[in-house]
Structure 1
Amino acid sequence: MHDLPSTGRRVLVSGASRGLGRALAQEFAANGDQVAVHYAARRAEAEETFKSLAGEGHTLLSADISDPGQAAGLVAEAAWELGGIDVLVNNAAVSSPHPPATTPYEEWTAAWRRHTGVNLLGTAHLSHQAAQHMIEQGAGGRIVNIGSRGAFRGEPDHPAYGATKAAVHALGQSLAVALAPHGIAVASVAPGFIETERVAHRLGGAEGSAIRTQSPFGRVAEPEEIAAAVLWLASPQAQWASGTVLDLNGASYLRT
């Protein structure tokens, strides 16, 4: 176990190799926290994230969170390396197109298995295991889930993504009620489009201008804007926000 400073929280960020995950890791590190940077396969990019973090005491960990054993192992290793876990940010997710009208059935079922395995079950298993550490530590904790505007707006070409993100929102609300007696607050954010590598091909193409005009601000979110909101939801001041699903989409979709 590493010798850690007496200040700063222990934070596990899943899917932190690039994009929003990198911005999340950087935000917590700049706040004085120690961060476990998780990645699945993008080691080189995850190393770039790791090297970019301010402060000391961080760690770089790999796991396929769709595998229940590896998910549990990731939390255990993060707790060992950091000396405990105070905050879990469930950012890891997959998204690939599978429009129902044109996707062959074998590809359709594979897409649903993959999305469910990572986006929903991976999030559920990491949350369960992190909560056990937080309960044992006896000082409460925070779990913040990265959901999606698509959970409400629909994802016609990515239906499994929209469905699993809606399930993540519901999971967060269930955990918020179940874990509150232990001082653990759970919240989710529902971003729209974010300027990341994952959607660069869409933002840079003909579709890009149409996507930007979805918001009256005429743009999409910067990763740092989402990370700042997550940092607040993970803060001691945000306990009363437990159970919330925070829309972060520049008025591009308003729920009534």
Structure 2
Amino acid sequence: MPEVRRVLVTGASRGIGRSVARAFAARGDRVAVHYATRRSDAEETLRLLAGDGHALVPGDLGEPEAAPAIVEAAVRALGGVDVLVNNAALAPAPGNRHPVQETSYADWRLAWRRMTDVNLLGAADLTYCVARHLIERGAPGRVVNIGSRGAHRGEPDFPAYGASKAALHAFGQSMALALAPHRIAVTSVAPGFVATERQAAKVSGPEGEALRRQSPFGRVGTPEEVAAAVLHLASPEAEWSSGAVLDLNGASHLRS
């Protein structure tokens, strides 16, 4: 039987986060399902998890005091945290589109502050809290960041999103160096377009064919494929991958 780990998955109310939570639970791990505002969706995630001993943990990562409270709640509910998955993010949407040539300065600043606060600073604060928890326990651990293909190819309509994800990748590599002496491995995944619930209308609508053509496989990615990669990177066998940024985009964007 594999060792049961305690896993905190942020932004787990739906989409990639829900699939990641389900993958860990199916392995036999106990999961803290974090959410910001979608409590009913988070409760559905909790209902879908195999096994027992899981928990709901609320908190808005855009608030500076949220991370310590989230980690404390997860530690209290699970008895500790061994794996952190930084998935929560403010994703591109019509309401936060901010191309430089069309956006007022006030809206530009708002988009940058909010996306940076959640996507980068929230993840950094959570990593700090979980790392200190692991170091104090003298226990090994794993941190997996959910980045984006947009960090590498650019996001002209959502530059704050692309920049925040690029910074998240770089932050993960810095933490890989800092935390390796404590047997804490830190990695990132960089998904391309993924067919989550939020993207269902795009996939089935007029944009769907163009999205599928981005990859030579002729399709888009699935949340389960991202979850499988996260599960591997969080495993004991993946310690030597620490510092890696794994592309998960079906060859839709290649880096040299």
Superposed, 1:83-122 pairs within 5 Å as 83-95=79-91, 96-122=96-122
In the alignment, the residues of structure 2 paired with residue 137 and residue 233 of structure 1 have an alpha-carbon distance, to the nearest angstrom, of 22
Identity %: 64
2:211 alignment counterpart: 211
1:14 alignment counterpart: 10
1:70-126 deviation line (CA, Å, top 9, x unaligned):
111000110111101100000000023211111222111111111001000000000
Shift of 1:138: 1.2
In the alignment, the residues of structure 2 paired with residue 99 and residue 210 of structure 1 have an alpha-carbon distance, to the nearest angstrom, of 21
1:116-145 deviation line (CA, Å, top 9, x unaligned):
010000000000000011111212100000
Q: Which is worse superposed, 199-208 or 10-19?
A: 199-208
Number of residue pairs matched? 252
Shift of 1:252: 0.3
TM-score (norm 2): 0.96
In the alignment, the residues of structure 2 paired with residue 160 and residue 197 of structure 1 have an alpha-carbon distance, to the nearest angstrom, of 23
Q: Which is worse superposed, 100-109 or 149-158?
A: 100-109
1:68 aligned counterpart, secondary structure: coil
Mark the runs of 5 or more structure 2 residues left unpaired by the alignment: none
Shift of 1:68: 1.9
1:186 alignment counterpart: 186
In the alignment, the residues of structure 2 paired with residue 44 and residue 99 of structure 1 have an alpha-carbon distance, to the nearest angstrom, of 33
The one-letter code of the counterpart of 1:159 is: P
The one-letter code of the counterpart of 1:80 is: R
In the alignment, the residues of structure 1 paired with residue 165 and residue 181 of structure 2 have an alpha-carbon distance, to the nearest angstrom, of 26
1:231 alignment counterpart: 231
In the alignment, the residues of structure 2 paired with residue 218 and residue 167 of structure 1 have an alpha-carbon distance, to the nearest angstrom, of 30
Moved over 3 A (4+): none
Q: Which is worse superposed, 98-107 or 168-177?
A: 98-107
1:126 and 2:122 correspond: no
In the alignment, the residues of structure 2 paired with residue 202 and residue 175 of structure 1 have an alpha-carbon distance, to the nearest angstrom, of 35
Shift of 1:7: 4.2
1:217 aligned counterpart, secondary structure: coil
In the alignment, the residues of structure 1 paired with residue 125 and residue 29 of structure 2 have an alpha-carbon distance, to the nearest angstrom, of 23
1:50 and 2:52 correspond: no
1:29 alignment counterpart: 25
In the alignment, the residues of structure 1 paired with residue 4 and residue 43 of structure 2 have an alpha-carbon distance, to the nearest angstrom, of 22
1:189-210 deviation line (CA, Å, top 9, x unaligned):
0000000123233323322211
